[in-house]
Amino acid sequence: MSEFFHSVTLDRDKCQGCINCVKRCPTEAIRVRDGKAKIIKERCIDCGECIRICPHHAKLPIFDPLSIMEDYKYTIALPAPALYGQFNNLDDVDILLTALLKLGFDEVYEIAKAAELVSDSTRKLMSQGALAKPVISSACPAVVRLIRVRFPELIHNVLPLHAPIELAARISKQAAVKKTGLQPEEIGTIFISPCPAKVTAVKMPLGTEKSAVDGVVAIRDVYPKLLGLMKEVNIPNEMSSAGRMGIGWGSSGGEATALLNERYLAADGIENVIKVLEDLEDEKFTDLDFVELNSCSGGCVGGVLTVENPYVAKARLKRIRKYLPVSCNRIDDVIPREAKWDARLEYLPVLQLDSNVDAALSKMNEMNEIIARLHGIDCGSCGAPSCKALAEDIVRGFATEDACIFNIKAQLHNLEDKISGLKKGELE
């Protein structure tokens, strides 16, 4: 595994070299080079915006095929709460969970269940005053990665607890080892995911050395199979064991409201997330205890691996939650070890011009000189998202001013003038 893995790949035949993804990327991590979109791996936060925006469907999310189940003797399905919102007229979550067994899984462990444990742990840690306020949710892997590259000052505000998926995988695997007597590697924990960022979170985890999740399959892959299987379920098994709070995590605001504390803010959509983080960094919010941030609009229901419109899915989650108990899962007084991060989040200064401040200053001066020479219309024809980004690429040594078509045009005009000047000279 290279130092940076990302959950997006490029279909080179489909990529037209347009700059839709380049312009959309919130960390300016994409450039068009030799007619194809390339990702600057250190900068990518796996938000999936390029996958969403690409009009040619050339940006493809990476996830595991459902056949990954065959690699294990015993398999545990870990359905995201967002999955519950994909189906029309689903009143009873048990029908869906039973259908997952019919699909071939030996066991189902709802992520909503682990979410309630994370909520309870967060409530306890906050009431103990153990966390720096405002506490920033660590559930969305794209947000955590964004903070790591762009907002170092906020790293110590990030909730040092694993996302519910990680906790669900750890708890369910431990229990299955006990129950079956199998080795941990013979048991497969398979996440049914709305989001490719979770693939990266599993392969290159933050907050731990190794993830307990063994496979990540896409909701949109499993969805058509489940539709058929759900119809075959006559009497569902009584399986569901999560309440309103856990299922609420599937859409924006769910995690925050589960803290039973009114001093929260919940923002979704990567642009909004960035604005909130900038304001947090400037200490513009003084009365906040908790900040929930989701990279996708609507929260996890807005993930690129889902099927349904996120707002429809959100409305459905609301309906499913309606007559459920508030919460079904609690921790003891002590926060379980497997819920806590076992590695620190470290700042990754990839946006810096140079690790030496003096060198960075001279590069920035050089950059400003280049910007003054460029046309300034941010056309993107050079393959960079803006003239400023091109100037930055030039001082970093990744591009030259000849990448700018306006510069080339000016040079041509110059040449033309010279030639016509010469001709004139000849005639006289």
Partner 1 sequence: MSQKIIMNFTVPGDDFTRAGEASSAVKRALKQLGLNSDVIRRVAIAMYEGEINMVIHANGGEIVVEIGSDDVQMILTDHGPGIQDIALAMREGYSTAPDEVRNLGFGAGMGLPNMKKYTDEMTIDSIVGQGTTVRMVVRVPQS
Interacting residues with partner 1 (CB under 8 A)? 150, 152-153, 278, 281-283, 347, 349, 351-355, 357-358, 360-362, 364-365, 368, 392
Nearer Cβ to partner 1, position 92 or 153?
153
What is the DSSP annotation of 61-130?
Answer: E----GGGGGG-SEEEEEE-HHHHTTSTT---HHHHHHHHHHTT-SEE--HHHHHHHHHHHHHHHHHTT-
Q: How far is the CB of 302 from partner 1 (least distance, A)?
A: 27
Q: How far is the CB of 359 from partner 1 (least distance, A)?
A: 9
**Would you state the structure tokens that stand for residue 204, as one six-digit string?**
């290159």
CA 46 from centroid of its chain's CA atoms: 5
**Would you state the structure tokens that stand for residue 326, as one six-digit string?**
């508030």
**315-327: string of b/e by CB count within 10 Å (b at 16+)?**
ebbeebbeebeeb
Which one, of 269, 310, 245, lies nearest residue 82 by Cα?
310
At 8, phi and psi to the nearest 5?
-130, 140
Could you count the other beta carbons within 10 Å of the beta carbon of residue 18?
16
Measured between alpha carbons, how far is 398 from 392 in angstroms, rounded to an integer? 9
Contact (CB, 8 A) for 59 and 21:
yes
Which one, of 85, 108, 125, 122, lies nearest residue 248 by Cα?
85
Q: How far is the CB of 284 from partner 1 (least distance, A)?
A: 8
**Would you state the structure tokens that stand for residue 419, as one six-digit string?**
């030639």
Give the three-class secondary structure for 389.
helix
> Length of the chain in residues, anyone?
428
Nearer Cβ to partner 1, position 45 or 93?
45
Nearer Cβ to partner 1, position 16 or 362?
362
Q: How far is the CB of 267 from partner 1 (least distance, A)?
A: 18
Which one, of 147, 160, 254, lies nearest residue 207 by Cα?
160
Nearer Cβ to partner 1, position 232 or 283?
283
Q: How far is the CB of 344 from partner 1 (least distance, A)?
A: 16
Could you count the other beta carbons within 10 Å of the beta carbon of residue 7?
28
Q: How far is the CB of 131 from partner 1 (least distance, A)?
A: 19
Return the bridge partners of 158, or none.
Answer: 136
Q: How far is the CB of 23 from partner 1 (least distance, A)?
A: 18
**279-292: string of b/e by CB count within 10 Å (b at 16+)?**
ebeeeeeeebbbbb
Nearer Cβ to partner 1, position 62 or 364?
364
Q: How far is the CB of 293 from partner 1 (least distance, A)?
A: 19
Nearer Cβ to partner 1, position 356 or 414?
356
Nearer Cβ to partner 1, position 260 or 361?
361
Nearer Cβ to partner 1, position 338 or 393?
393
Q: How far is the CB of 378 from partner 1 (least distance, A)?
A: 16
Nearer Cβ to partner 1, position 152 or 336?
152
Nearer Cβ to partner 1, position 39 or 391?
391
Nearer Cβ to partner 1, position 326 or 357?
357
Residue 423: exposed, middle, or buried by beta-carbon count in 10 A (0-12, 13-18, 19+)?
exposed
CA distances from 167 to 125, 205, 362 (A): 17, 13, 47
Could you count the other beta carbons within 10 Å of the beta carbon of residue 6?
20
Give the three-class secondary structure for 394.
helix
Return the bridge partners of 321, or none.
Answer: none
Which one, of 233, 249, 288, lies nearest residue 265 by Cα?
288
